[in-house]
Structure 1
Amino acid sequence: MFKRVQSNIFSYFFSVVIITFLVLVVIINTIITKTENKAVEERLHDVGLALKDFIQREFEDKEKAALTLSKTITDKDLQPLYTTMRKLEGKEFDPKELQKNFDRIYSEYGKKNKGKFNGKQLGQLLVQNNFDKNGLPFMLWLNNKKNSNEIAYRTFYSLQKQLKQFSEIMLSEEVMIVNMEKGRIIASSVNQAEIGQSAFDSLLSERDIREKLLMVNEGKRKYYWIDVSKSKINNDHTRCYLATKVGDQKKYVMLYAFNTNHWTFNNSVEEHSTDIFLTGKDGLMRTNSSLFRKNSSAVLLRMSQEGYNLDDLEEAKKRNSVIGFQKVDDVILKNIQKFEDKIVEAKSVNGIHVLAHTTQLKRAGLDWYMVVEWSRDVAFAEWETLRVFINSAIAIIAIFFLLGILYGGKKLTKPVLAFKEALKDVIDNPKLFLSNSHKYRNVTSDMLQQLEIICSEVSKLYEHNDQLKNQLKMANIHSEKMNATIENQTVDSKKLHIEKEQFSKGYLEYKNLYSQYITSINNVLKTTIFDDNFYQLNSYGGFIIQENKSEISGDFIWVHERESRAFVILADTGKYDHQAALIRVVLSDLLTEVIKVKKVSSPERILEFVHKSLYDLIIKGEEIFDKELCLSVCVWDRQKQMIEYAGANQSLFITRDEKYDEFEGENYGVGGIGNEAQLKFITHYIPLNRVKSCYLYLFTDGIIQQVNPSDQEFTKNRLKELIIDVQIENIEAQHEYINKTLIEWRENKPVNDDQTLIGFKVV
């Protein structure tokens, strides 16, 4: 059957139509796939940005309200409480009175000890719960109604009512006031068990909490968020805190405690997304997922199957919260740590496959991320329906089209087959062919006319073929004569061919050897030519940020330690590729001679020596040094506790105890055609006596001249503000934040010039 169909001309057309429709289906489905992926990603991205704006406004509203409320309480309002707390600090107290207050205020303690405990048990209780015994007399005094006529007593309960109003306005769990002298809590809106206790030791578990509160208290920050912490005073419940300053005497800080377990963001986009929650850079949850709020048992069961600690799961079940415990999928965590704003496929915290979008929510003290997880089935449901509809429509059209082809082909088959038989007769015997013999065999009159024309042409071809055979015979005779002549030339031709092959072989060997030499030279010139001792420098940590315009950088770093001095030198040759590499070799040799061999320590003398040496090379005709070099020489004398700096068309940024200074070098470089033979440089002396923290920053002009997509330069002022902003961070965090900022500024723009930034801590 198949062979019969293939013999018909319409069977070929039939096959072409089927293949065409199959290709059409593939193309349309490919377009749908690309379109649906892009549409779903844009939709999820828009949802994420809208939610980010909403959540940021929520944070901003809380910060503004907290600052406004904190200003309503003055130092004068708090002075009676502070005075009474100092007077009662460390006094003896009656254990029975403490028991009575614990039963009334904090019933959990009474339950643990069955309403009875002796002095030894009391001591164990205080140790287990991190209670400071010196602060307990103040709490007991406030809970004794005999003191109701005292100003401090009335002030406390009046202030407590005010703090409760603050808590209702801020939608917080609690509002408390902390005295910064020893970190003691002197007032709270709800929990009197905290009164007299230290916020640094008992309330908050986050590291460096004292320094963070001091920044707010001293006015360095208007407010500061404290990441989720556990508090033994609050039965290990997790809380997030917002700190603001109270009064003008730098004595008090107000803490607003928020239970992030109550924060939800799903209501506005519930029909689109699976879940919305906040997480830290460590991947641990900062708010609960929506599924956990709906069915916590199912989530905890799945977490136990994934290998979470059973004791921790039991604690999470008791607290009805997985905040600070449950971790997001590794794919999402990797996206967070790389600062990538893109949609990824991952496993959700609820155990299903989702599309996830992460967005950074950075506030003072918080480095959180918002994660929007969208069910993949829900996201592509509408597009799958569209795909089925389009494919069904194409299939129906194809069926009707093929039926039409079969019907029309059946009617045209008979005359086509008859015409095919007539053509066969023409080919077999064109001289004896008679067109009228096929007149009554389903062949049309038009076809008969064409047959006659074809028969005439075929007869002519036969005649022409006979002529070609005769010409071919004559050509063979001539060819035989030519072969005899060619045989005589074959020997000479072989010799020439052998010589050609030998020459080609030698040429290839020479070419390969030459290519190896060129490759070796390029590899040598691409080698990083600066002293790698920077990271072995005996300092308190440092970093280097480098971006090259070409394969070989024109920026140059040279580091050396000699006795109590450390030399750090940064140069900008102004050249690229091979010229840059050659200049760096010469410059490295000059620095080695003046510092290591001649033992010169003064930055200004080092610059003068380098300039004089380069000037002599220019006089000798070395035109590669035609452009002046920008150079910074920084000498750290540990014995004298002194920084010595001199610069040629470069500057030094330095911060001492978070105080910023800039020391500018001369406005001319070293070397270069047009400069004088003798140039003078000035050394700046920067003492480090009594300095607790000091950071140094050297940079080339490629950093501040880099443009963004709007063709705006980064500028020295922006770099200055960036360095001031990161002073509260350690050197590793500074490196990460500065590098991220420079990358975000440049975006997709190419590097204008070689860029180098060195930062290191000396105190």
Structure 2
Amino acid sequence: MFKRVQNNIFSFFFSVVIVTFLVLVGLLNTLISNFEDNAVRERLHDVGLALKDFIIRDFEEKESIAVTLSKTITDEEIAPLYAKLKSTEGKEYSTKELQYNFDRIYLDYGKKYKGKFNEGDLSKFLIEANFEKSGIPYMLWMNNKKNKNEKPYLSFRTLTNVLNQFGKVIDASEVLLVSVEKGIVLGSNNNESEIGQTVYKKLFSEKDIQEMVLMVNEGKRDFYWLDVSNSKINLGNTRCYLATKIGKNKKYVMLFSFDTNKWHFNKSVEEHSTDVFLTGLDGLMRTNSYMFKKNPSAIWLRMSQEGYNLDELEAAKSKKSIIGFQKVDQKILDSIKKYDDSILEAKSVNGIHVLANAVALKRPGLDWYVVVEWSRAVAFAEWDNLRVYINSVLAIVAVFFLLGILYGGKRLSSLIFAFKSALADLVKNPKLFMSNSHKYRHVSSDMMQQLEIISEEIIKLYDHNDKLQNDVKLANIHMKKMNVTIDNQTVDQKKLHREKENVSKDLKEYKHKYTKGIHSLQNILQTSLFDDNLNVANTSGHFLISKKKSEISGDFVWVCERESRVFFVVGDTGKTDLQGALLRIVLSDLFTEIVKVKKISSPDRILEYLHKLLYDLIIRGEEIFDKELCMSVCVWDRQKQMIEFAGANQSLFVTRDENYEEFIGDENGVGGIGNESQLKFQNHYIPLNRVKVCYIYLFTDGIINQRNADNVAFSKNRLKELIIDVQIEGIDKQEEYIKKTLEEWKGDMPQEDDLSLMSIKVI
């Protein structure tokens, strides 16, 4: 047994250390993972925003410089060039002169064709380059030094030098002077072959470029960017253009051409395995990636493996650019289309797994995005090192704990076995146990002391056991005596039980009689004498919503038709069950006497007479009428086409065609202790002449006082809005909708009072 205990103790401590180590490792690694993910994403997001600000400042600087430079050139300086263009249109030109100019301008083509263009090569080149033949005479004239003394030639050369300076100031690949009318290039700082050619159909479609040029020229904007495109007038090279207006006559614009291959962003970031480039809504790159600049061959190879069109790939290779050709990962493109700037994991344009962030870069004419890609392996490298370091420290601590347990367990085992031997002797013969016989068996003095205490306690337990056995014997004798007493008490208990059964039987019979009486009253009150009898009235439609709080409702409804008049009464007795039933029976009798016997027809006089009758009952000591009654009396006179109303602390809602009205009754009720013997009530008159549709609504305060789950009363205003809302429906639909609304408002809340609502469609 002790061997098992020892093994269990060691196993327990080993398990605790190992489980604690695993829990700490898991907890710390989870915390590091959450923290590192947030930290890396925040850092990448901050880099994206910072680069966006840097790039926008660069764009704004270019825009400001371009607008300023454009303002230095006037219409008068360009006018001679435009006039010469018009005068040379359609003129014949010498093939020899054309060959000479092309040999000089296109040196690369000259080398290809052994220094000279022949007639066939030149014709082929003009077709491939889609040259406008009408502009060739203008180009030849401006490139002919024989015209150096002519004013247009001098103006052309002066403007060429100015444009060359502009290109250096703004770091543009080319600066063009363009006529708005047909998009003809009037001047260029470094490409004489473009002179006389149209930019329409050459940069973009004719519609796009022409609309953008006109927007700038009309003054809607001082500048406008033209997205990256393959320029046919620039040997198919990919360029981005910035258009600005010139002069006041709205005839010319200036195009600054930029080679986005040369744009660089934040080289210090690129050195940390981060790539930064620009892309558009189509996902095509607007600048080269860092890896392409570093190792283009690897990018070409990967693109060929990814299924890019081989002919287009060869064309891109010849231009040494992936701008407008390579596409970003679909995940990044989806993020751009959703205008989502969150950090996401994607495949980079360089083919590695990265964290990417796309930030919108909006400029007039451009809908670009700054894409920052950070190698995931590099981004989390520092955090991986931290994780390895922390796990190593925890492992070392766990090893030291285990070694401590092994060393302590070895020393403890000898004491445990000695203690085991002493306990065995103690169990075998506790009264004769001698602790001193074990003092040389590796048992410590503290253990010896504890063994002596245990021995003394065991001896006491033996003595106490003997005493308990004697007490049990005495208890058995006492139990026998108690059994005799219990037998005598059983006779008395049986007698009490019979009496209890008789009382229960009488109580059950009384409850049955009471319940039967309640049901009888309910049946009486449901007869046509005491319950509502709307069917006796010849109306266009009606309904009654009545819901009682307990067995018998305290709300009172009475309807009577006499001659051409129909009487409608709705009231609240303020009582429930038996008292409510008694009041309803008495009130029914009183109204019958007032209306049918006394022939009183005016609602105010009906209430006044009812109050007098109730007052007399109170004087005679009938305490059941101690509380004021709330009552609405409405009389419809068919012959006079008139409705009369009087209310005792109750209102009437009336809708006539599209008009809604509330008629408020007097504040005092009828009857009740403390009221005067005579009360006066105001009579309201509601004419129905020329009215097509009319509804009247009488109700008790149980509806407006009902509270919902938020402890908010339904209120009179909500009832008004509800009645107005249902006017578009028929009488049956109105009842259904109002019932549903009241049930939904009440929900699971208890009903606070009896509620009644009577609606009559008079017309």
Q: Fold match, TM over 0.5?
A: yes
Distance 2:158 2:43 in 1: 51
Question: Cα distance, 1:298 vs. partner?
Answer: 1.6
Aligned equivalent of 1:335: 335
Aligned mates of 1:239, 1:282 — CA distance in 2 = 17
Shift of 1:331: 2.0
**Which string of whole-angstrom CA distances, capped at 9 and with x for unpartnered residues, describes residues 136-194 of structure 1?**
11111111222222211100000000000000011110000111111111111111111
- Residue 116 of structure 1, aligned match among 92, 115, 118: 118
* Residues 56 and 8 (structure 1), Cα distance of their counterparts in 2 relative to 1, 3 Å cut: same
Q: Does 1:360 align with 2:360?
A: yes
Counterparts of 1:462-541 in structure 2, within 5 Å, are: none
Compared CA separation, residues 132 and 457, structure 1 to 2 (3 A): farther
Structure 2: distance between partners of 1:19 and 1:464 = 51
Sort the Cα spacing of 1:19 and 1:75 in 2 relative to 1 into closer, same or farther, 3 A: same
Task: Give, as a single letter, the amino acid of the residue that structure 1 aligns with 2:128.
Answer: Q
Query: How has the CA–CA distance of structure 1 residues 151 and 386 changed in structure 2, closer, same or farther, with 3 Å as cutoff?
Result: same
Q: What CA distance in whole angstroms lies between the structure 2 residues aligned with 1:622 and 1:427?
A: 95
CA deviation after TM superposition for structure 1 residue 267, in Å: 1.5
1:629-688, Cα deviation, whole Å (9 max, x unpaired): xxxxxxxxxxxxxxxxxxxxxxxxxxxxxxxxxxxxxxxxxx989x9xxxxxxxxxxxxx
- In the alignment, the residues of structure 1 paired with residue 30 and residue 425 of structure 2 have an alpha-carbon distance, to the nearest angstrom, of 51
Q: Cα distance, 1:33 vs. partner?
A: 2.1
SS of equivalent to 1:407: helix
The answer to whether the Cα contact below 8 Å between 1:206 and 1:227 also exists between their aligned partners in 2 is no
Equivalent residue letter for 2:34: K
CA distance in structure 1 between the partners assigned to 2:264 and 2:471 by the alignment:
94
1:230/1:467 CA distance change after superposition, 3 Å? farther
Whether contact under 8 Å (2:270, 2:276) holds in the other structure is no
Matches within 5 A, 1:724-763: none
Counterparts of 1:275-314 in structure 2, within 5 Å, are 275-314=275-314
1:143 maps to a residue whose letter is N
Matched residue type, 2:338: K
Deviation track 1:22-61 (CA, whole Å, cap 9, x = no partner) reads 2222222222222222222222222222222111111111
Counterparts in 2 of 1:414 and 1:163: CA distance versus 1, 3 Å: same
What secondary structure is seen at the aligned counterpart in 2 of 1:7? helix
User: How do 1:365-514 and structure 2 match up within 5 A?
Assistant: 365-423=365-423, 435-436=435-436, 438-454=438-454, 459=461
The residue correspondences of 1:58-457 to structure 2 (distance < 5 A) are 58-107=58-107, 115-117=117-119, 125-204=125-204, 208-423=208-423, 435-436=435-436, 438-454=438-454
Conserved 8 A contact 1:272-1:379: no
Say which is worse superposed, 273-282 or 182-191, in terms of deviation: 273-282
Q: Contact conserved, 2:270 with 2:290, CA < 8 A, in 1?
A: no
Shift of 1:364: 0.9
For 2:259, the aligned partner's letter is N
What is the TM-score normalised by the length of structure 1? 0.58
Question: Contact 2:332/2:358 (CA < 8 Å) preserved in 1?
Answer: yes
Q: TM-score, normalised by structure 2?
A: 0.58
> Helix, strand or coil: the match of 1:255?
strand
How far did residue 277 of structure 1 move?
A: 1.2
Partner of 1:19: 19
Q: Give the Cα–Cα distance (whole angstroms) in 2 for the partners of residues 15 and 205 of structure 1.
A: 76
Structure 1: distance between partners of 2:261 and 2:457: 94
- What amino acid does structure 1 have at the position aligned with 2:117? G
Q: CA 1:90/1:5 → structure 2, altered by over 3 Å: closer, same or farther?
A: farther
Structure 2 distance, partners of 1:407, 1:433, is 33
The offset of 1:406, in angstroms, is 2.2
Residue 9 to residue 91, structure 1, CA distance change in 2 (3 Å): same
After superposition, the Cα gap between the structure-2 partners of 1:672 and 1:406, relative to the gap in structure 1 and judged at 3 Å, is closer
d(CA) in 1 for partners of 2:471, 2:33: 61
State the shift of 1:616 in Å.
Answer: 6.0
Change (3 A) 1:464 1:388: farther
Percent of residue pairs identical: 60
Corresponding residue SS for 2:53: helix
1:205-242 C-alpha deviation (Å, 9 max, x unpaired)? 58612111111111111211111011122111000001
Give 1:452 deviation, angstroms.
4.9
| Matched letter for residue 186 of structure 1 | L
Tell me: CA distance 1:239–1:25, structure 2 relative to 1, closer, same or farther (3 Å).
same
- Structure 2: gaps spanning 5 or more residues: 495-655, 663-693, 699-719, 725-763
Taking the aligned partners of 1:66 and 1:615, their CA distance within structure 2 comes to: 69
- Equivalent position amino acid for 2:212 in 1: K
CA distance in 1, matches of 2:212, 2:470: 107
Deviates more, 1:224-233 or 1:42-51: 42-51
CA distance in 2, matches of 1:61, 1:54: 11
Contact 1:174 1:189 in 2 (8 A): yes
Q: Determine the C-alpha separation between the residues in 2 that align with 1:265 and 1:189.
A: 27
**Aligned partner of 1:116: which letter?**
N
